[in-house]
Structure 1
Amino acid sequence: MSRTILIVDDQPEITELLSLYLKKEGFQIIEAHDGMDAFQLIAKEKIDLMLVDIMMPIIDGYQLIKKVRETLRVPIIIISAKQEDQDKIEGLSLGADDFIQKPFNPLEVVARVQALLRRSYNYSIETTTQPEDYKYRKKIVGDLTLDEDSFAIIKQEKIIQLTKIEYKIIEILMETPGRVFTKQQIFERAWNDYYIGGEEDNTINVHISKLRDKIEENPKKPIYIKTVRGLGYKFEKKNI
């Protein structure tokens, strides 16, 4: 099955280069040269993955990702010349799944695209081949309910929407309250990829921070998702 990739970059030489390499691997390519064009294309086309530059006219990459994440869970890889850690953190915080720095090796981009699509596709198969009553089951810990059908947490009758990765992380933690999960265990299960450390640690920290922002009364003093220093994270059931 051919997948459709939307490349969003205001530099034609970048979109042409990426398009060339991705088409060789059998992907269908759609190009946009600013965020506004990209957002209009998303409304009309079925997109399987997005490659997004940050610095673009009209709507920049950050704004585009934020708008997309309001309605879609399509995998997103940022490709940018920005080099600061804060730029990567902001992109991941807004909902991007990966970050590639310019200048890049186009073969690496192809490999990252294939890996992310593979993870996303495998995840969708997982969730659609469960027993018939699976989607109606819920995980309940204290006053939090993880709704496996709507990718949401219900807290005090308030529905809190989660991204795909946020959902998978909290699902892992809530399945065994009190158990400590290492960063390696979380990454390999949530991202379905090999854990190396360093960049993966930073990615996990960002997503944990976003989860805390959504479910904790005071994210700086969390009562649900606890850090176990030097080990990882656990979901605390006591005192909830």
Structure 2
Amino acid sequence: MKDYLIAIVDDDQNIRELVEAFLNKDHYRTIGLGSAEEALELWKSSPPDMWVLDIMLPGMDGYELCKRIRQDAEVPIIMISARDNEVDKILGLELGSDDYLVKPFSPRELVARVKRQLQRWYRVNNTDDSSQDTSLAQRLVVGQLQLILDERRVIWCGEEVEVTLKEYALLKVLAEHPNRAFTRDEVLTLVWGEDYFGSDRAVDHLIKRIRKKMDNLPIESIWGHGYRMRTEGVEQ
């Protein structure tokens, strides 16, 4: 098992030290940071395997930091806040956080959530594509979209597109079952895992990110239901 490094970003030194103490006790390596600006410097030089981000930070807030991290990577992110507000939770999840915890929280609960997120991330990143049905061969093709399975690459209209882990996972689910309508709950289970408990609006946000990268991608929105990858009328 990998020796994970977890970054805790909170301007309250007491909280940072408490969280670090509990994570260290569970044999995780940690680094504490007091601002988003310090966190970005760490991200450039020695990116950690996971982030625990406070929302209310001096200068750049936790939302913007989460957004910037998520533009480049799909590492687990847990957001913490003193505000127990549904809007805050939804916004955090839409920006790409994997979990949300309200202060004051039990350090043991945070450790449990950290462990759960890292286990999920480890399973997904170590999925062996050779275990896939051989009928899928090495590629999935839907019109101008190609997924090269053994290399985890995405080709759209002849050009390779950089995608995150969850973006790839969602594209793979839809491309494996063209024209099938998936509910948001089904997508959450297949992409985020059965124990995910956040808002299904995270699915909409992920679709929005994919569409921004691949213009005219044939992912169809089904009002009040979910999404599907169309093949009718798509050039093969």
Give the TM-score category using the shorter length: 0.7 to 0.9
> For residues 43-122 of structure 1, what are the structure 2 equivalents within 5 Å?
43-45=44-46, 47-122=48-123
Shift of 1:101: 2.7
Between stretches 46-55 and 136-145, larger displacement belongs to 136-145
Q: TM-score, normalised by structure 1?
A: 0.80
Between stretches 138-147 and 90-99, larger displacement belongs to 90-99
> For residues 1-240 of structure 1, what are the structure 2 equivalents within 5 Å?
1=1, 2-45=3-46, 47-127=48-128, 137-148=138-149, 153-194=154-195, 199-217=198-216, 224-240=218-234
Name the CA shift for 1:93/1:154 in 2 (closer, same or farther; >3 Å).
farther
Shift of 1:50: 0.7
Contact 1:216 1:224 in 2 (8 A): no
Name the CA shift for 1:68/1:206 in 2 (closer, same or farther; >3 Å).
closer
Name the CA shift for 1:212/1:85 in 2 (closer, same or farther; >3 Å).
farther
Between stretches 26-35 and 137-146, larger displacement belongs to 137-146
Q: TM-score, normalised by structure 2?
A: 0.81
RMSD: 2.9
Distance (Å, rounded) in 1 between the aligned partners of 2:37 and 2:196? 36
Name the CA shift for 1:113/1:144 in 2 (closer, same or farther; >3 Å).
same
**Aligned residue pairs, count:** 230
Partner of 1:220: none
Shift of 1:33: 0.5
Amino acid at match of 2:31: I
Q: Deviations over 1:166-224 (max 9, x none)?
A: 2111210111101122333322221223366xx3423223323333333344xxxxx72
Distance (Å, rounded) in 2 between the aligned partners of 1:118 and 1:67? 23
Amino acid at match of 2:221: T
Name the CA shift for 1:105/1:225 in 2 (closer, same or farther; >3 Å).
farther
Name the CA shift for 1:232/1:149 in 2 (closer, same or farther; >3 Å).
same
Name the CA shift for 1:128/1:174 in 2 (closer, same or farther; >3 Å).
closer
Contact 2:52 2:80 in 1 (8 A): yes
Name the CA shift for 1:228/1:127 in 2 (closer, same or farther; >3 Å).
same
Shift of 1:165: 1.3
Higher relative contact order (CA 8 A, sep 6+): 2
Amino acid at match of 1:210: R
Distance (Å, rounded) in 2 between the aligned partners of 1:45 and 1:214? 27
Amino acid at match of 1:204: V
Amino acid at match of 1:180: A
